[in-house]
Amino acid sequence: MNTTNDPGSERPARAALVAGWLLLGFSLPLGLTLEALHALKVDVYLGSAMRRELWTLAHAHGNLLGMLCLVFGLFAARLPEARAVARLGRVLVAGACLMPLGFLLGGVLNREGDPSPGILLVPLGGLLLLVALFGAAVLTLRKGRAGGGR
């Protein structure tokens, strides 16, 4: 995995890979559970349009952000500046976990029309994800300008 001869670049890649697999490991069964709740016509789920939407968003974002973590994990070792990559990896993993968790918690104990306070994790997670994505873009540009090849 480590293609830059920098042992510091393997740790954030591994952490992102673990986070990606865990996000998928929780999000995929969540989707199956939501399908079962729907099929069994469970009132806790079907009785609240807000809860259905938030939990569906938790499932979808968990899956997509899990895949993003896997992609970052596969390419992190190719980015220059191992310390910056490590920071970006931590920020990415935090954002990828906070966003679906915020959607999930927003649908717990919510009142119709208003999500629960857990929804506040969503914008925080989104902000962290933006920082990580733009940071990765900057590092990629730096590598290209330095004649980094691959």
CB 72 within 8 A of CB 136: yes
Q: What pLDDT, on a 0 to 100 scale, did the predictor assign at position 2?
A: 42
* Predicted confidence (pLDDT) at residue 116 exceeds the cutoff of 60: yes
Domain that holds residue 37: 7-142
Is 2 a domain residue? no
| Structural domain count, the chain | 1
Q: Which two tokens stand for residue 2?
A: 């480590």
Q: What pLDDT, on a 0 to 100 scale, did the predictor assign at position 4?
A: 46
Is 148 a domain residue? no
pLDDT tens digits, one per residue of 27-80? 999 999 999 999 999 999 999 999 999 999 999 999 999 999 999 999 988 888
Q: What pLDDT, on a 0 to 100 scale, did the predictor assign at position 6?
A: 52
Region of residue 109 (left: phi > 0; alpha: psi -120 to 50; beta: else): left
CA separation for the pair 50, 98 (Å, rounded): 19
Q: Which two tokens stand for residue 64?
A: 């997509």
